[in-house]
Structure 1
């Protein structure tokens, strides 16, 4: 399957280690200093380009959380990002810093997250991914169903995350990008690790 130049560019821009240190210093009340890893997984796991993502508080680097897989799919020239969760997230804690562990990943370790699909567009030098209208992305966490609104923007050296947890009944944001996007700068590039077959 051929991969478009747009999808290849999007994947390479998204892969890396990112920090929002500047933003957290400017607005410490609203933004925690986070480190965010997005690292390619082997192509054969999903038969397409996909990345492993996790994040951690910069003060406690050894306790990453929110492990997930972002799969890039392309249909009729339209790019979408499909989210997968881990059956055992704890088993993959810290894999964002350990490429060898990610090479052990198989399809049996993950499961699709219903409704967690983003449409990608490009404008003003950035790719923008957002959920379709009326989409609902939910997942289980500590035996409770959680609802999230997903979204991001990415350029060659910046990644902005709009992910936020919401109260299902009211839609009120309860964690994550409540006031504005988390704005990260790329500090390490992992795009050389992307495989295309």
Structure 2
């Protein structure tokens, strides 16, 4: 990312007096079931309404062919959202799951099954995690044009932690199934 907020700058919780570092967050949004655009916009709205979570950018919307999905899966709408937050990564993950649940995301044993909404944490500042519940940075995002392209639109000189510039990563991925939708957009209120 172009500028990761300084982890030494903190926000003081007015009720508890706790100090929390401000972190830059990259989230990927996707939907290939139901009202896809409405689900993405609903996710943006729900995330923007999250206390201590400040949306700083939303990418253009892309329509993408499903990757490693079951046969017959429909195309996705994808976007990337940038935010600054003082929330811990685990709480962000809980919020992402709650937003998915609000849009009736059904979890399945089938890998990459179609879904009404997918909210993935890609990067949370310089946080690293390899727990089952939370893997940061996202372990496959650096290989996926449907994440890299919209992120690149927002931050062309961003750097994926431990992987390098997203422009270079995007150049190394197959982006033939990633099409920008000029006719639709997400908005932050």
TM over 0.5, shorter chain: no
Please identify which structure carries the higher helix content. 2
The structure whose RCO (Cα within 8 Å, separation 6+) is larger is 2
Higher strand content, 1 or 2: 1
Relative to the length of structure 2, the TM-score reads: 0.31
Q: TM-score, normalised by structure 1?
A: 0.30
